[in-house]
Amino acid sequence: MSTAKPSFVEEESHITPTQTKKSFGVRLAAHFKKWWWVHLIIFIACFLIILLPVIYVAYPKIAQHDVSDSTLDITEMILSNPTPESFHLKQRQVLGSDSSYHPKIDAFDSEVSLAGAPPFAHVTVPAVKSKDGAVIHVEQKVDLTNASAFGDYTTAVMLNEEVSLNIYGRPGLKQGGLPKTTVTYNKTVVMKGLNKLEGFTVAKFFIMFPPVNGFGMNGTVIIPNPSVLTIPLKKQGNVSLNLELDGKSVGTTYLNNLTLKPGSNTVPMIGKVDQAAIITLLTSKSNPYKDGILPFDIAGNATSTYDGKELPYFSKALSANKLSIKLDVLSALKEAGVNLSL
């Protein structure tokens, strides 16, 4: 019986471990770690593609739209110290805007004109933060670049119920941290005119007989001014107006030291008249005015002066307007001691 032990042969076992698949997050992190610079370039490029059109295309368009959509109201305008070539301007403007943006508009040089006409002057508009109700104060000496065009403007103010004033310029505009852009400021402001001085009346009328220092009549006139315009000629300014009867000149009336303000203006009047011609007319058989009330026209050859110099632009406006008044000359002569039988 065999007693030999069984033999065992040991074999070395080689087991290859299965590789674990990396998660998406790990792989994504590795990708960005390797290619971060590519993604940064792409991000910057996309950002600029979106931002640059906003800054350089959309933003200027929005700015221009808001400026064009805003309104401008002139609530006060004072023309003082006039010369044939210039005047001092004091003006109050009020902005109107419903925009949610409130950019700063830089001071700018503007061309001012009667709407549709050549500019007559340049006016510097101060810087302002654009918002509803913002007030702009303009005060400066204005040199006329076209005195004839300014005469057309003053004539339009005299003859019309409303007049359109155009203000044009190219100011800079800046909103917050955005870069400055340039906009076109082109505003037409509708203002009330003098409307031919409708409502002009002679409140008091006296005849001086015989004339004193060449002046044969005086009185008080009421001049209505529905506009915001003030013209303070004061101690150095005079207005002379031609007085006509039946189309013939019979004298000149003077409004000395005139200051025209908004509202009703009571102004002293004095005049040089051809008393002999008027009395001859009243006493003639062909006198058509048997009640002694004569219809005078104030028209033509009007002159406005300041500091001894004629102001052609004011003279032009005054000459363009014709006023008609009726004066009870017969009663005024009676009060002066001249009794006529008609």
**CA-wise closest residue to 286 among 342, 240, 340, 331:** 342
> Using one digit for the tens of pLDDT, what is the confidence trace for 136-168?
999 999 999 999 999 999 999 999 999 999 999
Mean pLDDT of 200-208: 96
**Alpha-carbon gap, residue 89 to 112, rounded angstroms:** 12
Q: Identify whether residues 142 and 264 lie together within a single domain.
A: no
Of the three residues 193, 218, 244, the one that is the final residue of a domain is 193
Written as six digits, the tokens of 30 are 């590795």
CA dihedral 66, 67, 72, 78 (to 10 degrees): 160
Q: Identify whether residues 327 and 257 lie together within a single domain.
A: yes
Q: Identify whether residues 120 and 207 lie together within a single domain.
A: no
* pLDDT surpassing 80 at residue 11: no
At 80 the three-state DSSP class reads: strand
Angle of CA points 261, 265, 266, to nearest 5°:
145
Q: Which helix (H) or strand (E) holds 153?
A: helix 147-159
Q: C-alpha distances in angstroms, 289 versus 275, 278, 282, 294, 337?
A: 16, 11, 7, 7, 20
Domain residues for 94? 70-193
> Using one digit for the tens of pLDDT, what is the confidence trace for 221-278?
999 999 999 998 876 788 999 999 999 999 999 999 999 999 999 999 999 999 999 9
Output 7 or 277, whichever has higher pLDDT.
Answer: 277
Q: C-alpha distances in angstroms, 232 versus 48, 77, 79?
A: 58, 11, 7
Of the three residues 193, 218, 253, the one that is the final residue of a domain is 193
Q: Give yes or no for a cis peptide into 6 (omega within 30° of 0).
A: no
Q: Does residue 58 sit within a domain?
A: no
Cut 0.75: pTM above it? yes
Number of H helices, E strands in the chain: 6, 22
Q: Identify whether residues 202 and 184 lie together within a single domain.
A: no
Domain CATH number, residue 107: 2.60.40
Q: Identify whether residues 182 and 219 lie together within a single domain.
A: no
Of the three residues 153, 174, 193, the one that is the final residue of a domain is 193
Q: Does residue 105 sit within a domain?
A: yes
> Using one digit for the tens of pLDDT, what is the confidence trace for 304-335?
999 999 999 999 999 999 999 999 999 999 99
Q: Identify whether residues 215 and 151 lie together within a single domain.
A: no
Domain count, the chain: 2
Q: Identify whether residues 173 and 208 lie together within a single domain.
A: no
